[in-house]
Amino acid sequence: MRPFTYTRAEDAAAALAAGGRFIAGGTNLLDLMKLQVETPDALVDINHVGLDAIAPEGEGLLVGALVRNADLAADPRVRRDWPLLSRAILAGASAQIRNRATTGGNLLQRTRCPYFYDLDTPCNKRQPGSGCSAQGGFNRTLAILGASEACIATFPGDMPVALAALDAEIRIDGPNGARTLPAAGFHRLPGDTPERDTNLEPGELITSVALPAPTGGRQIYRKVRDRRSFAFALVSVAADVVMDGGTIRQARVALGGVAARPWMLPEAQALLDGQPPSAALFGRFADRLLAGAKGHGENDFKIPLARRTVIAVLTEATGGDAA
């Protein structure tokens, strides 16, 4: 760990004024600093700035950026109206980590690509221009969608996949004022700049996450992984499906573990709207959602795995038999 300055901010304005890397739960950043993958000169501790309430906002819910994962998952309103969010949070990490990790921090966790963590191997995300060791290396966990020549890392989280499917909004404050981003548009694909994980600008702070009015739909989070707990998703599927009699009124589906951001395609979802559920329909949807998917050898299996999991989740969400 390199020496750094430490400032404890008492409110959001002070945090923004302080300048430096924000640290909240620290469940990812501290590990990265010990390994010197991240070497910030200044840390601004935002654990004491407030922003830790969950409050109604219209028919929706406003979740402060400092709300701990465990508290958000356990909130009775979340469990009742946005159970997808609860389930996704509880599918991740361990109880100890969820007690510490925050809503804002969870959105900002970095990839688990093993080469990103290894200073002795090139990594464009860690050191732009150095190369990508994952290609030609161990890539079981890595991306099948939206990757680039520069980077095949995945975003590893669960909660943000649910937030994307729930059409949540990320609220941000910063040197140039407040703004919002849709959860589905918060993370970036690597392109030529894999070092940038998100569309957050330097100096900006996530202040809250807004959940829109509940859809009343059937909500499912299914996480497929190599170990039943404390493992990152190989593929996860977050779905919120509203039925209208025998047809699908609206379906929102996001994939995790397959790309550098939660993977959603509005044009694929449009295939589902107004249609009666059927295996053939779900197959067409999955094919559209996974169009252009490309494996790198060890992770080729993720493509059929994602397809099968999407179909099973939609089948279950529309009242069918998953088998």
Q: Which residues bind other proteins (CB under 8 A)?
A: 1-3, 34, 36, 112, 114-115, 117-120, 136-138, 140-141, 224, 226-232, 234, 301, 304-305, 308-309, 312, 321-323
Of 60 and 92, CB closest to other proteins: 92
CB of 299 to other proteins, least distance (A): 9
CB of 112 to other proteins, least distance (A): 7
Nearest to 173 by CA among 196, 198, 200, 197: 200
CB of 298 to other proteins, least distance (A): 8
| DSSP structural state of residue 213 | S
CB 200 within 8 A of CB 172: yes
CB 312 within 8 A of CB 292: no
Of 114 and 191, CB closest to other proteins: 114
CB 45 within 8 A of CB 6: yes
Query: Phi/psi at 165 (nearest 5 deg)?
Result: -65, -30
CB 261 within 8 A of CB 187: yes
Of 208 and 309, CB closest to other proteins: 309
Of 48 and 117, CB closest to other proteins: 117
Helix (H) / strand (E) element for 268: namely: helix 266-270
CB of 237 to other proteins, least distance (A): 10
- For the record, the structure tokens of 133 come out as 């060791």
Calculated CA dihedral for residues 14, 19, 24, 28, nearest 10 degrees: 180
Cα 170 to the center of its chain, rounded Å: 12
CB 69 within 8 A of CB 93: yes
CB of 82 to other proteins, least distance (A): 24
CB of 313 to other proteins, least distance (A): 9
Of 119 and 178, CB closest to other proteins: 119
Residue 31 CB: number of other CB atoms within 10 A?
Answer: 13
Of 36 and 176, CB closest to other proteins: 36
